[in-house]
Structure 1
């Protein structure tokens, strides 16, 4: 039996801990926050029945890794799927764009443009492989094969919104993954993602996993005997193996003895942050019950996406309140990372009238602001060649972060897949 540490109690860290303890090892999970969850963590007002994610989350029906894990845990009966409506802003109005029929009705493209969009998308979803696509930027590939009109109307706004000033750097394999794996039906867990993560942590505790919450890691140091020493806020602890699920730049900072080649891979990975303002209002915002509003930067909205959460899950779970996410992906230097919550509300609130002309500021009941400086990796051309390996050059030190789920997009499903893959590598070295 080995004594193993997992740094980080997000979905990936918990999944790794599950496989490691199942194999008979002693596992300790360190988490700087007071609860498990990472970027999927939630919060709950006293009068609510369900937790609400700090950053909007859902599962797709194709999310095999997380759904299989939930089935292993005996919790599948607590997963539910719905099919809310996603819309795209075009020429002053919103149009559904989440099914083939909706795409055919979209007024922003000619008949030829719609056919071209359909044929290229079918190729990407059913025929293309991602490896050749990563040699090209999504910007150049989509302009060439979708055509200028389709690209500028539908696809470029998505890239700009998701990657800000890096949008022309992102490779086509990342965009391929969006077409390959996503489904119209979206899923969640009864009680919210936090409820799942809490129950998962409790199951792990019953299996013998130890949790050390409110514990930051100050340093990672290899010892001559092959063990790994962790410097904690109140002392030190020694382990046979360590899995770090922290951001790449943080691993480089915590582990000065890493060799320069690996450290360079860690520090050269680009990422941007996320800012989300959640609003509780008295009435539904969307008159047509739309869930997800894609808002091109050029349209003048002060955020990338508006997500009316209670058009996906019933407001009765939240004491009848209507909950809205206003979110954006931005460089860490953007002013949204320094404005106060009140300043953000003042900045965002007027734009809600463009979605519902009847909206009044007195509809607002409460608001919450969440920011994450490390929220979205930026995969450039030939990104697979630049990824740091799960096994670091330091014996018995392993690394798994959202940057390594490539070509897939970050999320709990691929975090689980990566965490279990890392655990498998660790077990094979035992």
Structure 2
């Protein structure tokens, strides 16, 4: 049986890996020049390793991607470290990545620090009932249990930084999942996430998967026996089933004749985009901080990530690499500004973080933007999510909007892709013969 997959991100590659392993003939169509999706990388001529367009790491609790890493023989290329994560407060960053740093944080009275710590402990270790938590907003729940001081100083800036004007809409299940999945140790791959994506793609190719790059899908048509795909300059090709791993808007555009109920669900899903500028500096910017959460009312971006305080600059020709990242509505002006104009917006903020910073420190910079990067999750969001099988036979959809209550990321993209493959195998008959292990 022939299966087409639109998108060679981690979900599409994981689905292809499993489907091909069970004997299906799989073709992946990818509009970009390489596999990896939002975790794909780029490379300066000076660098040994590519770097992700959007900052990435995994946690020790990310079981899906770790299991797949083991399966494809890449475990020796995955490593974990404990970089410093901090919160900006009154002119400097304070570490909040452990019990003692939280208890020492001067931004709250001791009783509020204790309350903050107990609330985080309860959410991470003592409750699994996210269905109840999604019935209220994170803002209301946190103020009730952590107190207004901790909510205003720590919790709300995190929500506002992530969701901007939608912060007060976000339900508590999302924040629970963020805490539940986090670990103080962070994981990375030798060669970056692009190396992992390339390795997974290589295994897929050995299993017979065809990966067609630089080929956007123009249209799909339902046929009597399945789905026809028109992509790039290729002739129309018929398949028994089709998996779309893109945004809700992409699926709605490709298949506008979906039943109104499912189509309505797609159109009600809202999301934010991502704007990330990567800057190569001649000197380090922060004093050893990897991730610095910033208040949106003081800075023109939500996070400063100094990647080379996590991974050695020697892999990047000695560059000190920072990300200036933000989640924004797709109509925000940052999606229209030139890289040069946006850098000038950001330079004063870099000087605010390190008064010694000079414009001459900047060796090079790159700007990456994606309009679909962070789903917005209001109260009772689980009712809004369309299932992976669409109402049309042979058509399936798997996107970051469906990993809820978990937050989007490479681990849940892998889990989602493999779940979609399992559902498709259950639906598609006759079942092909599985590929022998070792392929």
For 1:359 and 1:278, the matched residues in 2 are separated by 16
SS at match of 1:215: coil
SS at match of 1:57: coil
Which residue matches 2:260? 260
Q: May I ask how many residue pairs the two structures share in their alignment?
A: 426
Structure 1 stretch 106-115 or stretch 368-377: which is displaced more? 106-115
Which residue matches 2:48? 49
For 2:167 and 2:224, the matched residues in 1 are separated by 45
Which residue matches 1:330? 328
Report the CA distance between 1:199 and its aligned residue: 1.5
For 2:56 and 2:415, the matched residues in 1 are separated by 17
Which residue matches 2:350? 352
Alignment of 1:8-407 (within 5 A): 8-128=7-127, 129-225=129-225, 227-234=226-233, 235-286=235-286, 288-298=287-297, 300-407=298-405
Report the CA distance between 1:232 and its aligned residue: 2.0
**Contact between 1:271 and 1:377, CA under 8 Å: does it hold in 2?**
yes
For 1:230 and 1:208, the matched residues in 2 are separated by 19
Report the CA distance between 1:267 and its aligned residue: 0.9
* TM-score, normalization by structure 1: 0.98
For 2:9 and 2:85, the matched residues in 1 are separated by 28
Give per-residue Cα distances to partners, 1:202-246, cap 9 Å, x unaligned: 111111100111111122222123x11122233311100111101
Give per-residue Cα distances to partners, 1:234-285, cap 9 Å, x unaligned: 3311100111101011101110220010001111101010101111111111
For 2:231 and 2:370, the matched residues in 1 are separated by 23
For 1:219 and 1:204, the matched residues in 2 are separated by 25
* TM-score, normalization by structure 2: 0.96
SS at match of 1:9: coil
**Contact between 2:29 and 2:231, CA under 8 Å: does it hold in 1?**
no
For 2:328 and 2:33, the matched residues in 1 are separated by 27
For structure 2, list consecutive stretches of 5 or more residues without a partner in the other structure.
429-439
For 2:354 and 2:378, the matched residues in 1 are separated by 38
Report the CA distance between 1:121 and its aligned residue: 1.6
Give per-residue Cα distances to partners, 1:131-170, cap 9 Å, x unaligned: 1001111111111111111101100001111001111111
SS at match of 1:423: helix
Report the CA distance between 1:415 and its aligned residue: 0.3
Report the CA distance between 1:367 and its aligned residue: 0.5
For 1:215 and 1:93, the matched residues in 2 are separated by 46
SS at match of 1:167: helix
For 2:314 and 2:306, the matched residues in 1 are separated by 14
For 1:170 and 1:218, the matched residues in 2 are separated by 34
> Which 4+ stretches in 1 moved above 3 angstroms?
none
**Contact between 1:221 and 1:257, CA under 8 Å: does it hold in 2?**
no
For 2:406 and 2:291, the matched residues in 1 are separated by 21
For 1:170 and 1:87, the matched residues in 2 are separated by 23
